[in-house]
Every structure is written in structure tokens, then in C-alpha cells.
Structure 1
Amino acid sequence: MQVLGIESSCDETGVALVRTRAVGTPELRAHALHSQIAMHQAYGGVVPELASRDHIRRVLPLTRQVLDEAGATLADVDVVAFTRGPGLAGALLVGAGVACALAAALGKPVLGVHHLEGHLLSPFLSADPPEFPFVALLVSGGHTQLMRVDAVGQYTLLGESIDDAAGEAFDKSAKLMGLGYPGGPALSRLAITGRADAFALPRPLLHSGDLDFSFAGLKTAVLTQHRKLGDAPTPAQLADLAASTQAAIVEVLVKKSIAALKATGLRRLVVSGGVGANAELRRQLDAAALKRGWRVHYPELALCTDNGAMIALAAAMRLQAGAGQASMDHAFDVRPRWPLDQIDSPAAPRVS
């Protein structure tokens, strides 16, 4: 079975083709991605209407590129999968509309996929895939969650951010420092030359006794420290503030992940989402796992951001596991707000 996946939840258009195998994880045959970063930089963040329009321009050329690279044709596609949510409503509707129209024209079934499930399962495409069960740290621009994952479709929420996600803390702190968009990667690069102990920034909820996160207070502390530096901070001062900010975020993520593994008795951690590419986070998680005899799994760096491969993979794994069923009903809706632990709930908000 070959699954064509389309991702359009925010500011990246992704298309991929995966093929299921008799044993093991489905095989990624080809994938292509277009990032809208350059387009949104002038505005300092994602402009939803521009994002939607750009998805319209990109999705069909990317589909042709993927099929050409895989040596396949549309006739070889058995199922068309798309990101149903969460995400920007207009952007989601573009991917859903194209996927369902394409499937209808081909006489093939469609399957709507949860964006975060795609991230969660993306490490199965890595050179070191995990095994069930495991604890998952989903950490991105819009979400920070710890989940217990027992199988495909079997997810238990352990903790989540009650305000800003970790990725938002990176991005908003970078913006306060004048680092531009996208801020998270820029802050991480600057942090390399700074001192992580230069500023005493808070670690919100670090000792809360639960597995929830909070990063809004850290952002406020960064703003206060930046103002204290005056109107013209030196490059060294900015590097120190960036390093201290990254250290605060990473410490919370690492210690909460360790607490989740201890609470569940599991010995395997899966890290996914854009912040999962952060080198310092990976270094500290790897060190913690080595000390305790645990395993940590990550997606390949190219698959940390939003991409079509994770959507095609999640659809294929759901179909293999019997946890989802593709439909010949090509009417579609999207779910801009859709908690992962409610993935099978019919009550999730929809936009048609």
C-alpha cells in the first residue's frame, strides 16, 4: 500500500509518499518541502492569509516532484492522507481540499491525520526507530506536551503547557532581543557563544510536583533583563541572555521528561517537534539517558519541522494497526483546535 501525505497546517507545505511493508515501519519513498520563512520574515511572524495562498501555489508542484523522485504515478497511490488539524484553519483547508479532490478524481480513499500524531510518530522514520511503549515529549512552536504512548492511537496525556509552549518561549524571547524571525533557531545559534549562567532566569513549574509546563513568566523575565541592558546591549551581553534563556527552557524540558519516565516506569523517550532539533536539548537528554540506562529517540533533523513524511507515515501506521480507516467520502472538514488525547473524539471543533 502506498500513501501520499499532504501537510499544510501552518507555514510549510510538505508532500511525501510512503509504502507499507509486510514487517516493520513503512518506507519513505520520497518527500519534498517548501518553507515560507522568507515570505513571512518581513512581518515578523506567520500571516495566515499569505500562508494559505502560498500552500495553493506549492502543493501540486511538490506532489509532482515527489512522484517523479519515487518513480511513481498517481495511479500507484492507494490512499491520500492530509493534515486535518490542529493548525491555521485556512491553511488546513487548502491541504484538505487538494487531498480530497485528488482522491475523488482517482477513485481512492482519504484519511485525515492529526498533526501532532505525525510529529509523535516521525522518529519511526529515523535510523534508530523506537519501540512501544514510550514517553513522548512533543515540543514545538505551539505545543509542549508529555504523553504516554502504548501503541498507535493509544495516547495518555501526562502534562502540557498551561500558557506559552517552549517554542513560543524561544521565538518570543528572540523577538524581544531583536533577533528577527524565526526566532528560535536564531536564539540557539547566538547562545553558542554566551554563558548559560550569566542571568538568573526563572524555571517555571520546575518543582511543581506535576508534569505541566509554563513559559510565559520566563518571557517576562527575559524582557526585564533585556531592558536592564539598555538601548544598545553589546553582542556579548545578547549572547549571554540568549544562552541563559535557552538554559532555562532546556532544564525544564529535561527534568520534566525525566520525571515522566520515572512516573510511568518506562525507559524510552521519544522527542519530536521543531524544538526537538535543538542541539543543547539533545545533548542534555542524551547525557541524562546515558546516566540512567534509558534510550532517547529523535526524528532526523530534516523531519523535525512540519513535513509531509510524518503525515503519510502516521496514516500508514494507523491503517496497518487497524487504528484508522480511510474513507471514500470525499467531503472534508478540518479541526484547527484538536487535542491529541481527543484524537478519536467526535466532539472536536470542526471547520468545513
Structure 2
Amino acid sequence: MPDCLLALESSCDETAAAICTLQGELIASRIASQIEIHRQYGGVVPEVASRNHILHVRPLVQQVLADAGKSLSDMAAFAATSGPGLVSSLLIGTSMAKALSIAEDKPFLAVNHMEGHLLSPFMNGQGPVRPCIALIVSGGHTMLVHVLGVGRYSLLGRTRDDAAGEAFDKVAKMIGLPYPGGPEIDKLATRGDPTAFAFPRSFLDGRSLEFSFSGLKTAVLYELPRLDLKSEQTLADLSASVQAAIIEVLVEKLVLAARQSREKLVTVSGGVSCNRGLRTALTARCAKEGLQLLLARPDLCTDNAGMIAFAAAQRFSIGHTSPLEADVDPNLSLVT
């Protein structure tokens, strides 16, 4: 009897495939990264990304099936990320998943990429999914969500301009660090003084759960002409100060959201949640506030199909499927 689900992720520049049980246990996951390909351009080139998805998607499906010791007939359903993301990239994963669904006469599920991030902290035995305040912080998104259950989400606040990950990457580019810049700043920050530069913290007003990081980026830009960027210590101090400004806003907003909602469980996911400084600050502050903290495992923070498979399994378990006519949506919203 089919007891698993196969999912594909191709929203941007990572091609990924994964298989999980219908209970949400991840049993195989593979990623074909394009970081080295796009590094020479300083960012993701959509046409290059989609071409590489085409090259990688079929071999990845074969590999995860072999890793799991399963065949296509063991799958109860097939899923793929339908948005948000790059249209040309999304189409590769969804087309493949739909083709498998048709060939095996099994249901198809279109999964919101952000829901994959949202539910990822509940993977690896941390489930079931339960009410919490969730912070999703990535290259393209920074948002606070009140999770009431699978598919029951309320948006509390989001960035009004740059996402936190975007701010990290833009600052990194300004000071000549390689792409992707966020991890490079994280490395440098460990050797720097976070108080060396007094960069702004955009809290907006005292009860707002919205974010804004464009002012920080501008402040860094104005500071650069006065700095010796050939000095490793200057780069380290600058990185530590930028990181401290971003982390303080993220942590304070998350704690404020938990207080306002009276939830005791908070979760954090998305690529930026790999940041070591952020993880350390969150752990200390949540302990002080008496909050239970669930952090997505680092390998499940960046784009991967494991989180898509898990989200699809949660949806499938309550009877959700998608029509084969379902289109991709580059601006797909988590909360309608």
C-alpha cells in the first residue's frame, strides 16, 4: 500500500527532491545547488536557474527513490512548490510532479514555499504542528505569523521594504563579500565588535509587528566612504554591527508578538535562521521570557524539498489535494 509522498522544490536556484512518510517522517532528501554557478553573476539569473533545474530534476527523483528504497508506486501523492518564486523555475518542479502524478494516477499537491518554511521547525520529531508564533526570515521574506493549525494562519507583520536576508546580502555586496553574502557576514561577525558602529534599529512604533531594513542599508552606505575596507578588523566590526542591528529587531519583534498573542511557543525558520548570532540571541532571550523555542534544523532552513514534503504530508493527512490545472504563482501569499 502506498505509504510515502515525493516532493520537489525549484522555486529559485536550488533543485531539490525528497520523500517522507504520510506521517511526515523524512526518509530521503537531495539538493542540487547552483550557488557556484550564480556566484559569478553576483546573484541568481532566472534563465540559468531554470536550465539547470531541467538538468537536475529527473536524476534527483531517481536518487531519492534509491536512497529511500522506494519506487514510484510506493508514493501516495506527488507535490511541488507552486510559489512564491521565479516563474521559470517553479514550472520545472511542478511540471515534473504533475507528470508523475498523471503517470502513477496519484493525487497532486501544490505547496506554498513559505508554508514549507513555516512548518519546518515541527519536523524531526518536534511535531505535531501546534499553535505558535512563527518568525520566517529569509532572503526574500521576513514575517511574523500566528499559527493556529495546519492551513490556519494569521499574518501579524511583515517587512515594508527589504527582507532581513536581502539586507545582509546587499550590505555584503557593498563591502565586496562574495555571493551569497549573509553567511559571509555571519563568519566575519564572530571576530568583530557589535558596538563599533551605531546603526539604526527600525522598530517603527512600540506595538508594531512590521519590519523595515532599508534604513540600515542606507546607513551602511553613508558610512562606507569613511572606512578602510581593506582592513579585516574593520570588515569584521562592520559585519558584527550590521548583524547586531538586524538580530535585535528580529528578536524583539518575535517576543512582542508572543506577548500580544499570549502564545508560549515560538518557532523560527528560513535561510537567515541559520545565522549563529541569531540562534544564540533567540535561545537566550526566549529562556529569559519563559518561551519555548523551536528552531528549524540548519539543513532544513535553506531551500529544500524536505520541508515541502512535510507540508504536503500535513495537508494530505487532512484531505487536501490540488487540481492538475493549478498554476504556479510567483507572488503566492501564505495568508489570503
Q: TM-score band, normalised by the shorter chain? A: over 0.9
Cα displacement (A) at 1:331: 3.2
What does residue 147 of structure 1 align with? Answer: 145
* Correspondence 1:17 to 2:19: yes
Superposed CA deviations along residues 69-103 of structure 1, whole A, max 9, x for unmatched, are 10001111110000000000100011111111121
Q: Distance in 2 between matches of 1:17 and 1:183?
A: 31
Cα displacement (A) at 1:131: 4.8
Cα displacement (A) at 1:206: 5.2
What does residue 308 of structure 1 align with? Answer: 305
Aligned length: 334
Give me the TM-score of the superposition, normalised by structure 2: 0.97
Is the deviation greater in 262-271 or in 101-110? 101-110
What does residue 340 of structure 1 align with? Answer: 334
Tell me which amino acid in the other structure corresponds to 2:77.
V
1:43 is paired with a residue whose SS is coil
Decide whether the 8 Å contact of 1:113 with 1:311 is kept in 2. yes
Cα displacement (A) at 1:207: 4.0
Cα displacement (A) at 1:212: 0.1
What does residue 36 of structure 2 align with? Answer: 38
* Correspondence 1:249 to 2:210: no
- Any residues of structure 2 matched to 1:117-128 within 5 Å, and which? 117-128=115-126
Cα displacement (A) at 1:45: 0.3
* Correspondence 1:161 to 2:159: yes
What does residue 98 of structure 1 align with? Answer: 96
What does residue 4 of structure 2 align with? Answer: 2
> Which segments of 5 or more consecutive residues in structure 1 lack a partner in the other structure?
343-352
Cα displacement (A) at 1:109: 1.5
Q: CA RMSD of the aligned region, Å?
A: 1.3
> Which segments of 5 or more consecutive residues in structure 2 lack a partner in the other structure?
none
Q: Distance in 2 between matches of 1:213 and 1:111?
A: 32
Decide whether the 8 Å contact of 1:81 with 1:99 is kept in 2. yes
- Any residues of structure 2 matched to 1:224-303 within 5 Å, and which? 224-230=222-228, 232-303=229-300
Give me the TM-score of the superposition, normalised by structure 1: 0.92
Superposed CA deviations along residues 114-139 of structure 1, whole A, max 9, x for unmatched, are 00000011112135446511000000
> Of residues 315, 319, 325 in structure 1, which corresponds to 2:321?
325
What does residue 86 of structure 1 align with? Answer: 84
Cα displacement (A) at 1:35: 1.1
Cα displacement (A) at 1:292: 1.9
Cα displacement (A) at 1:209: 2.5
Cα displacement (A) at 1:325: 2.3
